[in-house]
A and B are shown apart, each in its own frame.
Chain A
């Protein structure tokens, strides 16, 4: 299947987990993929698994200046970005009453504010071409809440509102903005949850298993496809029945 022949896709946080699965999916369908990671080592890992299908770049999404430059460089080398997947995310879990300001700020900056900045930098080219796909990776906990994650839940819920508002602004230009909200997926991020958190979540998954990163990638690939042109401002929940909204 070659759905994304001649398409350029930018995926933030692509060195491992869900971002890597998304990058591999789009690349396997013919897209030229640029994946970002915070470290040079992460970027090198992306370049390695992508091979001739794209490359990895080191980028701190919260650094507005280097972000602008990176987008410019990508567009110069590969052409305008057709598909943007905002996947980069971090956690700084703590009970709300114990949460430090810097834990709050770090998560909001990376998981929400950076998405605004990346979208703003990329949407210009999409507006010109009257075509584009933006997919923001939210989370089931943005809808359900999760103790110990007020920062993460706020940022992930924020993405849903952001996506709806942006979707309304750019729909007339052939650009769609959607979210995919993963449930409990088998990645390094969920490995870092404590046993209590894991058990509580696990008891509530009707599918009785963790999700695979490739199962998130499949939903992203669908939203990025031509067939999804009339879907915008929507959130697809991929969570094994954990939350039905």
Chain B
């Protein structure tokens, strides 16, 4: 069973089409990983699906870096 961190990173790699080594904790989706606004929406939707949770818009807006995504899931995941 993968850790939450591994699962989040895997989703980021898949959604944004980036290399695993680029997905550093401090990396910003838009500034470092080349995501546009639609990419980040898709990323949030993918996280929602993977972790069976619903991320409210005001929370989703704060998910801008790899670490913030991991933190959100850690704090809100059901598993």
Chain A interface (Cβ within 8 Å of chain B)?
124, 127, 169-170, 172-173
Q: Which of B9-66 contact A (CB under 8 A)?
A: 38, 42, 45
Q: Cβ of B45 and Cβ of A124 under 8 Å apart? A: yes
Q: Which residues from B are CB-within-8-Å of A170? A: 38
Least Cβ distance of A240 to chain B in Å? 39
Give the A-B pair count, Cβ closer than 8 A: 7
Count residues on chain B whose CB falls below 8 Å from chain A CBs.
3
Q: Which residues from B are CB-within-8-Å of A169? A: 38
Q: Which residues from B are CB-within-8-Å of A172? A: 38
**What CA separation (Å) do A172 and B36 show in the bound complex?**
11
- Closest 7 CB pairs between A and B? A127-B42, A124-B45, A169-B38, A172-B38, A173-B38, A170-B38, A127-B45
Chain A minimum-CB-distance residue to B39: A172
Least Cβ distance of B57 to chain A in Å? 14
**What CA separation (Å) do A17 and B45 show in the bound complex?**
37
**What CA separation (Å) do A127 and B44 show in the bound complex?**
13
Q: Which residues from A are CB-within-8-Å of B38? A: 169-170, 172-173
Least Cβ distance of B62 to chain A in Å? 22
7 CB-based A-B contacts, threshold 8 Å: A124-B45, A127-B42, A127-B45, A169-B38, A170-B38, A172-B38, A173-B38
Chain A minimum-CB-distance residue to B49: A124
Least Cβ distance of B36 to chain A in Å? 8
**What CA separation (Å) do A225 and B18 show in the bound complex?**
32
Q: Which residues from B are CB-within-8-Å of A173? A: 38
**What CA separation (Å) do A173 and B42 show in the bound complex?**
11
**What CA separation (Å) do A172 and B41 show in the bound complex?**
14
**What CA separation (Å) do A127 and B45 show in the bound complex?**
11
Q: Which residues from B are CB-within-8-Å of A127? A: 42, 45
**What CA separation (Å) do A154 and B40 show in the bound complex?**
33
Chain B minimum-CB-distance residue to A173: B38
Q: Which residues from A are CB-within-8-Å of B42? A: 127
Least Cβ distance of A59 to chain B in Å? 23
**What CA separation (Å) do A170 and B38 show in the bound complex?**
8
Least Cβ distance of B41 to chain A in Å? 9
**What CA separation (Å) do A127 and B49 show in the bound complex?**
14
**What CA separation (Å) do A127 and B42 show in the bound complex?**
8
Q: Which residues from A are CB-within-8-Å of B45? A: 124, 127
Chain B minimum-CB-distance residue to A169: B38
Least Cβ distance of B43 to chain A in Å? 11
Chain A minimum-CB-distance residue to B15: A128
**What CA separation (Å) do A15 and B38 show in the bound complex?**
36
Chain A minimum-CB-distance residue to B37: A169
Least Cβ distance of A123 to chain B in Å? 10
Least Cβ distance of A131 to chain B in Å? 14
Chain B minimum-CB-distance residue to A127: B42
Least Cβ distance of A50 to chain B in Å? 31
**What CA separation (Å) do A172 and B37 show in the bound complex?**
12
